């Protein structure tokens, strides 16, 4: 039996070489389907990994109070996030003073998203995010200080012209050798002294936290504040077990600060950091479903094309089949030969598609800041699908070849 299988495989490879152009076209059709499937699913795995790592840096024991919900929607589905009245500085400061739960509370606001930072002749692109924050912001936001120090309470309250810059800004303005701490840089028309450099975090989903700059909260209020500025409150408890209790306390305390009545809806939104990541990952399931549909349609087309080619092959090799049967080859042997040939063509196409899919998926992974991914589960799925396509596309032509009458086959042509 083993000799028969090996002989079938040998003959199948010989047939593939003899019909090289036809085989290449079929392989390309199958490869495109597998490439689409593996590539998209690998990309999704990379995006999920990036989202998880990005939000895990803030910890699973953090939540935010803001004036709008998380507006995360895929396509036309879902509901638009509610927008509440802005959280002004007085609301945020009053909450921080009154919140007695054992937790770290920070207040921040986005000063600008189009800043240009300059040092001597060097300058950044005009796409730097500048945040006004207090001394606890780096803790609640998952930042670490790589060089220098954090803001002092006096700097935050007095609105000192000091700044903490991201790793990418530091590299752009000072290179890798020059010291950044205690240097004077420009943000717009104002001068700031660099007191710290944030530890490198890398990019996620095309956005880089290393291009952020932090200035004292009062300084941001003085130089960047507008009538529509809404402040963000971050709260971090010591352990995830305390998170639900802290959220309940925070909701009650901030309802009091905002003057929300008992039966009224809260005029703010509380978002857990891990909830945002879970929601993003959940919405990616639609993309995964689309990948399955694309792969299925392409593989269906490949199966039809392969079946057509195998039927043509049976017709062209009718006399060869007659000779084989005359020499004692059984119908089962002929059937297995053509079926194995179809599976081999599919597996070659699958191998090409898997390689291309992994390359495309990891290009996306590099873009979103994820590491190199080898999708073993999707690779196994691709191999199984190729076997199924080979069997489905090859069974009818193989059966037709096996049922040929040897005498009529020898008369062919």
Query: What are the pLDDT digits (tens) for 43-72?
Result: 777 777 666 565 555 556 888 999 876 554
Q: Which of 110, 107, 109, 94 is nearest to 137 (CA)?
A: 107
Same domain, 387 and 295: yes
Has residue 94 been placed in a domain?
Answer: yes
- Crossing angle of helices 331-368 and 318-326, in 10° steps, is 130
* pLDDT band for position 192 (cuts 50, 70, 90): very high
Has residue 253 been placed in a domain?
Answer: no
Same domain, 94 and 16: no
Same domain, 330 and 404: yes
Strands 190-198 and 162-165, bridge-based pairing: parallel
Counting beta carbons within 10 angstroms of the beta carbon of residue 157, is it exposed (0 to 12), middle (13 to 18) or buried (19 or more)?
Answer: middle
Q: Is the pLDDT of residue 74 over 50?
A: no
Same domain, 235 and 374: no
Same domain, 191 and 105: yes
Same domain, 49 and 181: no
Could you tell me which residue, 406 or 130, shows the higher pLDDT? 130
Domain with 323 in it: 2-53+285-411
Could you tell me which residue, 295 or 92, shows the higher pLDDT? 92
Kind and range of the H or E run holding 147: strand 145-148
Q: Which of 239, 256, 273 is the last residue of a domain?
A: 239
| Mean pLDDT confidence for 97-102 | 89
- Tell me the pLDDT of the chain averaged across its residues: 81
| Mean pLDDT confidence for 194-223 | 84
Could you tell me which residue, 230 or 32, shows the higher pLDDT? 230
Same domain, 26 and 93: no
pLDDT tens-place string over residues 303-340: 787 788 778 777 777 777 777 777 777 777 788 877 88
Has residue 256 been placed in a domain?
Answer: no
Scanning 228-284, the segments in alpha helix (DSSP H) are: 243-258, 273-283
| Mean pLDDT confidence for 81-93 | 88
Q: What span, in angstroms and rounded, lies between the C-alpha atoms of 353 and 376?
A: 14
Has residue 71 been placed in a domain?
Answer: no
pLDDT of 398 reads 81
Same domain, 207 and 114: yes
Has residue 350 been placed in a domain?
Answer: yes
Q: Is the pLDDT of residue 31 over 80?
A: yes
CB atoms within 10 A of CB 318: 18
Q: What span, in angstroms and rounded, lies between the C-alpha atoms of 110 and 168?
A: 19
Task: Kindly report the pTM of this predicted structure.
Answer: 0.59
Q: What is the CA radius of gyration of the chain?
A: 32
Same domain, 124 and 169: yes
Count of domains observed in the chain: 2
Q: What span, in angstroms and rounded, lies between the C-alpha atoms of 208 and 203?
A: 4
Which residue do the tokens 């593989």 mark?
299
DSSP-derived letter for residue 241 is G
Q: Which of 239, 268, 299 is the last residue of a domain?
A: 239
Has residue 246 been placed in a domain?
Answer: no
Same domain, 294 and 373: yes
Has residue 134 been placed in a domain?
Answer: yes
pLDDT of 72 reads 47
Same domain, 21 and 159: no
Q: Which of 239, 259, 275 is the last residue of a domain?
A: 239
The encoded tokens of residue 289 equal 């479903």
Same domain, 232 and 304: no
Counting beta carbons within 10 angstroms of the beta carbon of residue 280, is it exposed (0 to 12), middle (13 to 18) or buried (19 or more)?
Answer: buried
Has residue 394 been placed in a domain?
Answer: yes
Could you tell me which residue, 282 or 250, shows the higher pLDDT? 250
């Amino acid at each position: 039996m083993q000799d028969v299988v090996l002989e079938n495989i040998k003959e199948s490879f010989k047939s593939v070489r003899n019909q090289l152009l036809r085989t290449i076209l079929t392989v390309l059709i199958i490869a495109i389907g597998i490439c689409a499937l593996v590539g998209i699913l690998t990309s999704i795995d990379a995006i999920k990994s990036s989202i998880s790592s990005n939000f895990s840096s803030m910890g699973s024991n953090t939540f935010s109070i803001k004036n709008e919900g998380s507006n995360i929607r895929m396509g036309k589905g879902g509901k638009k996030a509610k927008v509440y009245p802005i959280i002004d500085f007085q609301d945020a400061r009053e909450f921080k003073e009154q919140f007695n739960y054992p937790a770290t509370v920070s207040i921040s606001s986005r000063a600008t998203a189009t800043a240009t930072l300059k040092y001597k002749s060097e300058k950044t692109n005009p796409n730097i995010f500048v945040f006004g924050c207090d001394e606890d912001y780096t803790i609640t936001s998952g930042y670490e200080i790589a060089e220098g120090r954090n803001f002092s309470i006096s700097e935050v309250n007095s609105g000192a012209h000091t700044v903490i810059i991201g790793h990418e800004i530091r590299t752009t303005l000072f290179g890798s050798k020059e010291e950044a701490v205690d240097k004077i840089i420009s943000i717009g028309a104002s001068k700031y002294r660099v007191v710290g450099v944030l530890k490198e975090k890398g990019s996620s989903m095309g956005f880089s936290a290393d291009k952020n700059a932090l200035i004292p909260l009062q300084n941001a209020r003085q130089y960047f504040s507008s009538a529509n500025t809404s402040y963000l409150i971050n709260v971090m408890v010591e352990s995830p077990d305390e998170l639900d209790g802290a959220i309940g306390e925070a909701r009650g305390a901030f309802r009091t600060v905002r003057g929300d009545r008992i039966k009224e809806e809260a005029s703010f939104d509380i978002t857990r950091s891990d909830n945002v990541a879970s929601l993003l990952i959940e919405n990616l399931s639609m993309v995964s479903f689309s990948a399955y549909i694309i792969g299925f349609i392409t593989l269906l087309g490949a199966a039809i094309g392969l079946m057509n080619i195998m039927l043509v092959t049976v017709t062209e090799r009718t006399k060869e089949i007659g000779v084989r049967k005359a020499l004692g080859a059984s119908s089962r042997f002929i059937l297995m030969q053509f079926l194995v040939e179809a599976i081999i063509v599919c597996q070659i196409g699958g191998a090409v598609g898997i390689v291309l899919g992994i390359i495309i998926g990891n290009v996306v992974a590099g873009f979103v800041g994820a590491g190199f991914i080898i999708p073993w589960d999707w690779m196994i799925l691709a191999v199984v699908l190729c076997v199924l396509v080979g069997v489905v596309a090859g069974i009818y032509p193989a059966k037709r070849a096996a049922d040929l009458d040897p005498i009529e086959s020898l008369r062919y042509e």
